[in-house]
A and B are shown apart, each in its own frame.
Chain A
Amino acid sequence: MDKPFAITLQVGSSLANKTGSWRTLRPVYLDRLPPCNHACPAGENIQGWLYHAESADYEKAWRTLTLDNPLPAVMGRVCYHPCEDSCNRGQLDEAVGINSVERFLGDEALKRGWKFARPAAESGKRVLVVGAGPSGLSAAYHLRRLGHRVKIVEAGPLAGGMMRFGIPKYRLPRDILDAEIKRILDLGVELELNRKVSDILETMRVGSFDAGFLAVGAHIAKRAYIPAGSAARMLDAVSVLRGMEGDEKPLLGRRVVVYGGGNTALDVARTAKRLGAAESIIVYRRTREKMPAHDFEVEEALQEGVLIKWLSTIKNMADEGTLTVEKMELDDKGFPQPTGQFETLESDSLVLALGQDVDLSLLDKVPGLVIENGVVKVGPNMMTDYPGIFAGGDMVPSERTVTVGVGHGKKAARCIDAWLRGVAYAPAPKHELAGFDKLNTWYYADAPKTVRPVLGLARRTSTFEEVVKGLDETNALFEARRCLSCGNCFECDNCYGVCPDNAVVKLGPGDRFEFNYDFCKGCGLCVAECPCGAIKMVPETI
């Protein structure tokens, strides 16, 4: 009994009192799916690579990025970035400039000469990829990283597909494209150019390939019947843009009319301006709101002096280049209807940009394939109805963009890998979406988007220099740090700080936190004050 004065019980710690028993709800950490990742057609882990970019670890950011997409410098230029459209920060101030950071990382990788890791082991399997466009290159890259031998056969004289023969230089400089393609080939991917596969089964048999991935793209220009005089100069957008890659540029004249309302129409009209056309006019049958082209491209084209005639169709073209144009009006369903009012338009050439079809002749001898609307039907695993032949990109039903193509390539590669091993590819289950309502935005500082410098107008309309420039390191870092990290813990310590019961254990950098359920009373403060929605309350089971 040698206790201090007036003490009858040994002094103890309150740790004996397990207040966790009060709890009816328990907090649990979770990763939610950030809306950017959810929206990315290439399935990039955007939040994941921005996290590394925030701490200026650009190489790790690039390595995380390229786990999904081998073409960040290309993507940072030509992607229409649906990620930014869905970015939660857009509801706070402005969306994070994901695309510009991606470009910065891509350019940084080229500057520093970062290479892809070689496959850990060889599988011994051989896969044929037909077409060296975004889809084919992406598939080849992913298949190679999974250890398969890959050969790409390309009909054109250079790799790149529509990235080279469809997208103008002022949007995608060719040295960037070449460098990113070379890095994929450096992994040990074989590329054969100038060879058109006419019979896929025969080619696969001769080369003893175990599987094939077809991504031949859509290169045949759609035509519209427009009565024209024998001397009238009528071209299609695909050959104009492809012609830009040759030594002899297409001759379009001083007055160029482009017919169509997609991004390709804009590419041609802007190219014509750069080739010296005094007038470059787009004729489109519906209104700006209905135009499939992306708004920023329309805006850039208008700035460069491209004219757009809305609600108009071309009826015929006379020898001397006079076009007859009919005014249209939208009916109550939003479809254009003729009005019977005509006007004339002088032009030296008319370029049709009405969409593209796929050359499916290589599939003629493959039995059992389903072709619908000019494209090949594939299953959810990207496989056609012929076992072992997979297809992706513009030749399957899809929105035809580079990013979608890259996504197809990745998905197909994983499915081909699984198929070669005799199993079905099972993607990891998707996390629940981290919507804006899951965030506590109080904790984010206001920081408006960093705008990329744009090339001066005079230089834009006379040269093929790149229009949109990149960010430098300071503003790329700033931009990366605007990321809200939706749904994924970024170790801000809020839960650790706001718990009145010290029931959150900090595990150290990179290891996040865990709850001490012995003392957690289930008040929910950590959930309410988590900025990024990475904790939720679930009922206790008793």
Chain B
Amino acid sequence: MEMQQIKFYQTATFTVGNRLLGEHERSVQANMRRTNSLNSGHRACQGCGEALGARYAIDAAMRASNSQLAAVNATGCLEVFSTPYPETSWQIPWIHSLFGNAAAVASGVAAAMRVKGREDVRVIAQGGDGGTTDIGFGCLSGMFERNDDVLYICYDNEAYMNTGVQRSSATPPAARTATTAAVGPAPGNVFGTGKNVPLIAMAHNIPYVATASVANLRDLEFKVTRAMGVRGARYIHIHVPCPLGWGSAPEDTIKVARLAVESGLFPLFEAEHGEIVNSTKIRRKVPVDGYLELQKRFAHLFSKPRDSARIALIQAMADHNIKRFGLLP
């Protein structure tokens, strides 16, 4: 069935499931027998975007790999809340080593599988933005340049949440963290810093790079499935709001993620061998204000007097993304 034919259905493709669609057209998350890779009882906060994003991604990867999957986890929230010894929430083979070496361990697991002739077993490395963009970055770059057969998934919640919300190189400008206090003439994180790991991954000319959001499940599952269909080094960067660190309401996790996408602050795109091949269009464009206002880490921008200059700078970032990635239909 073509996408066009389901476009006007009551629920279109925006909901998780759709009773009017055929079984094979439904999302993994709509399936009664989905893996639930990250099971109940984990200790993530209420409304955790990372717990949601991890289940979305790993369940999709499980389907794509015929359930022949092993995951390597960097240190971070995801690892801590899912595996307080001796309990585990993981329903798949899962290993944790150190904060910075998830990509290297995954490369090793992939090599071992190859040696054992088990090339049907696929390997995923996953971590937060701290373990990816800062601490694990060297290992990650190595995995990329060697084109090891690993899908690396970064769950980006834009700071070190597990240790108490310290700034990472993925923290956006103006955001208040424990290490970028909202004081002085330029409160919050400084402008003009940080790094964009999806673009850095593209610079390694690896087969597949994509960004995704917990606000767009269909798009996320599509990209994970696509990545699992490719051999070599692949990278997916998923935007996952953190109610605790961002100061947003637990029930607003998906709304916040959605506004990041719809404002253009978090562009959704795909790249193959260093070239952008596709971008997910914005459906209802919104100014950045709505996104920022839901989060206490940006509260200082809206206290009196309103910091219009900095809000305009953030809006300019969104506008730049829209232009650069062609986000408008």
Contacts and interface: CB of A to CB of B under 8 A. Distances in A.
B17 A17 contact: no
B46 A523 contact: yes
Contact count band on A: 35 or more
Interface stretch (B80-88, B158-166, B181-189, B201-209): B80-88
A438 B49 CA distance: 23
B19 A509 contact: yes
Interface stretch (B8-16, B110-118, B126-134, B273-281): B8-16
Nearest to A56: B20
A490 B10 contact: yes
B155 to A, nearest CB: 12
B40 A502 contact: yes
A207 to B, nearest CB: 50
B19 A498 contact: no
B15 A13 contact: no
B252 A528 contact: yes
A492 B18 contact: yes
B250 interface: yes
A17 B43 contact: yes
Nearest to A16: B87
A187 to B, nearest CB: 33
B307 to A, nearest CB: 28
B20 A523 contact: no
B296 interface: no
Nearest to A506: B32
Contacts of A538: none
Interface stretch (A163-171, A191-199, A476-484): A476-484
Given A445-B8, A501-B51, A493 B15 contact: yes
A506 B36 CA distance: 13
B47 A523 contact: yes
A498 B52 contact: yes
A412 B318 CA distance: 62
A500 B243 CA distance: 12
Contact of B40 (A483, A503, A523, A531): A503
A506 B17 CA distance: 11
Contacts, number: 160
Interface in A244-266: none
Interface string B27-41: 101101000101111
Interface string B63-104: 000000000000000000010011111000000000000000
B7 A445 contact: yes
A454 B19 CA distance: 33
A500 B17 contact: no
A12 B41 CA distance: 11
A13 B87 CA distance: 5
Contact of A483 (B8, B10, B249): B10
Contacts of B51: 500-501
Interface in A86-101: none
Interface string B128-165: 00000000000000000000000000000000000000
Nearest to B215: A442
Contacts of A527: 251
Interface of B is mostly: loop
B254 A13 contact: no
Interface stretch (A272-280, A355-363, A455-463, A514-522): A514-522
B14 A442 contact: yes
A485 B29 contact: no
Contacts of B57: none
B217 interface: yes
A498 B240 CA distance: 13
B258 interface: yes
Contacts of A509: 19
A410 B16 CA distance: 39
A104 interface: no
Interface residues of B, number: 50
B174 interface: no
A484 B15 CA distance: 12
Nearest to A503: B40
A303 interface: no
Contact of B89 (A10, A14, A55): A14
Contacts of A15: 39-41
A447 B16 contact: no
A19 B12 CA distance: 34
Contact of B251 (A7, A481, A484, A523): A523
A342 interface: no
A488 to B, nearest CB: 12
A16 B87 CA distance: 8
A14 B17 contact: no
A14 B86 contact: no
Given A9-B86, A525-B253, A482 B32 contact: no
A450 to B, nearest CB: 10
Contact of A14 (B42, B48, B258): B42
Nearest to B12: A445
Given A10-B86, A496-B29, A445 B44 contact: no
A523 B88 CA distance: 22
Nearest to B13: A445
A490 B39 contact: no
Q: Which of B9, B46, B85, B87 has the most chain A CB atoms closer than 10 A to its own CB?
A: B46
A493 B30 contact: yes
Given A522-B46, A523-B251, A481 B15 contact: no
A498 B250 contact: no
A496 B40 contact: no
A13 B42 CA distance: 9
Interface string A1-40: 0000001011111111111001000000000000000000
A501 B42 contact: yes
A491 B17 contact: yes
Nearest to B253: A525
Contacts of A11: 86-88
A443 interface: yes
B255 interface: yes
B47 A14 contact: no
Contacts of B255: 528
A16 B29 CA distance: 24
Interface string A494-516: 10111111110010110000001
B310 interface: no
15 contacts: A17-B87, A19-B43, A55-B20, A444-B12, A478-B8, A481-B8, A497-B29, A500-B52, A501-B42, A522-B46, A523-B250, A524-B250, A525-B250, A525-B251, A527-B251
Interface of B: 7-12, 14-20, 26-27, 29-30, 32, 36, 38-44, 46-49, 51-52, 55, 82, 85-89, 217, 243, 249-255, 258, 284
- Ranked 5 nearest A-B pairs via Cβ: A493-B17, A497-B16, A524-B251, A445-B12, A14-B41
Given A523-B46, A524-B46, 16 more contacts: A13-B39, A13-B87, A15-B39, A17-B43, A19-B41, A19-B43, A445-B12, A445-B14, A492-B18, A493-B17, A497-B16, A497-B27, A502-B55, A506-B32, A522-B46, A524-B249
